[in-house]
Amino acid sequence: MTKSPFAPAFDLLKRFEWQKNIIYIGFVAVFVLFAITLGDSGFTQPNNLLNIFRQVATISIMAVAMTFVIAAAEIDLSIGSVAGLASVVTAMTLNSFGLIPGILAGLLVGAVAGAISGGLVAWLKVPSFLVTLGMLGLVVGVARWITASAPVPIQDMNYVAIFGGGDFGPIPGLLVWAILIVAAGAVVMNKTKFGRHVRATGGNLVAAGYTGVNTAKVKFMVLLMSGVFAAFAGMLYAGRLQSGRFQWGTGDELSVIAAVILGGTSLFGGRGQVIGSLFGALFVGLINNGLILAGLDVSQQQVVRGAIIILAVALSRKK
């Protein structure tokens, strides 16, 4: 066999893992495309770019936890409604008992919802799809019930400043939170025993068990984590929008799952890429923003966004 001088480059191309990396290519391609076609509409303005980050911050945070959930071959459909309930519980507690109890109450909502789902999945072996689908409805019902479906305004400006309403120096607070959480998530996934155990559990439950991984605990932990992160995202919604409302976060589970799959995490478990999920979320945000700047109305945006997500997910599944 003759060796062409390009052989090493070809080998590199062959070994390139499409499923893992297509999100980065897609992100850059769409970014360049919008920069060229929508440059005049202000796409590349720093303010617009910061806006995109602001909008995807909550999705990114939930996507970090969802990456762990999906890598463990489970799913959490309840995150959007957990975010909504956490936003109203935080707002109500904040108004009656002050800043610290408000924060703790919000996080507690996520911990309780996550622990219930996680416990049912881990020890009673109920499929997470069913448990969290039920939890979705249950949590939304509670949020509407305790607020009589009305928004709860937040007057505590310290809370607003910390949770998403304010800036830390020149950088929007939301962005800081998202970056911190994504970075921590990436380290936990790649550099700790827990992350490795999550992927082993999702990759082969039986083999992981035989190897001494406490697979029930892993499943419990990822769903607990997902609940807490969803609550935190809901608290950021509350801060940014200066109110708690059951609708905050509604439907986010779909964007979050799309972001995670786009980012190269396998829907069948065993593989999880936290940084990929961030770029998946950014990709979705980029498209939303571009479509608005391109002057599409809301219904047209929905159509185009749906089509692009299907296409992108299909491409990212290519082996």
Partner 1 sequence: MSIELANAIDMRGIEKSFGSNPVLKNVDFSVKVGEVHALAGENGAGKSTLMKILQGVYGKDAGTIQVAGKDVEITDTFAARKAGVGMVFQEFSLIPTLTVAQNIFLTNEPTKYGLISDSKAKVMAAELFEEMQVSVDPSATVEHLPTALWQLTEIAKALAQNAKVLIMDEPTASLAKHEAEALFALIERLKAKGIAIVYISHRMDEVYRIADRITVLRDGVRVLTESLKDLTPVQIVEAIVGRKAAAHLEHLDRSDKITNEVVLEVDNLSSGTKLNGVSFSVKKGEILGLAGLMGSGRTELVNTIFGVTKADTGTIKINGIVTNISSPREAIKNRIALIPEDRRSQGLVLDHPVTENLTLPILDSLKSNGLLSNKKILAKSQEIIDLFAVKAAQPSIRVGSLSGGNQQKVVIGKWLATDPSLLMMDEPTAGVDIGTKSEILDLVRAIADSGKSVILISSELPELLAVSDRVIVLKDGRVLKTLNRNEIPTEEFLQLEIQGAN
Taking residue 171's Cβ as centre, other Cβ atoms within 10 Å add up to 12
Query: 63 near 259, Cβ under 8 Å?
Result: yes
Binds partner 1 (CB under 8 A): choice among 11, 137, 158, 180: 11
Answer positive or negative: Cα dihedral of 116, 117, 122, 127. Answer: positive
In this structure, are residues 276 and 23 in contact, taking their beta carbons and an 8 Å threshold? yes
Taking residues 270 to 309 in sequence order and writing x for each that binds partner 1 by CB under 8 A, - otherwise, the string is xx--------------------------------------
- The letter for the amino acid at 279 is F
Q: For partner 1, how many residues bind (rule: CB under 8 A)?
A: 27
Q: Which stretch binds partner 1 (CB under 8 A): 75-83, 92-100, 158-166, 198-206?
A: 198-206
* 171 DSSP β-pair partners: 168
Residue 204 binding partner 1, by CB under 8 A: yes
Six-digit token string for 187 = 């380290």
Least spacing, CB of residue 309 vs partner 1, in Å: 25
Whether 271 contacts 199, CB under 8 Å: yes
Scanning the structure block, which residue is given the tokens 């607020």? 147
In the complex with partner 1, the residue whose CB is nearer, 147 or 266, is 266
Q: Which one among 214, 250, 288, 301 touches partner 1, defined by CB under 8 A?
A: 214
Quick one: CA dihedral 237, 241, 243, 244, positive or negative?
A: negative
User: Residues 157-196: x/- map of binding to partner 1 (CB under 8 A)?
Assistant: ------------------------------x--xxxx--x
- Token look-up 């008992």 returns 97
Return the number of the residue (193 or 297) whose C-beta is nearest partner 1.
Answer: 193
Applying CB under 8 A, the residues found at the interface with partner 1 are 1, 3, 7, 11, 14, 187, 190-193, 196, 199-200, 203-204, 206-214, 266, 270-271
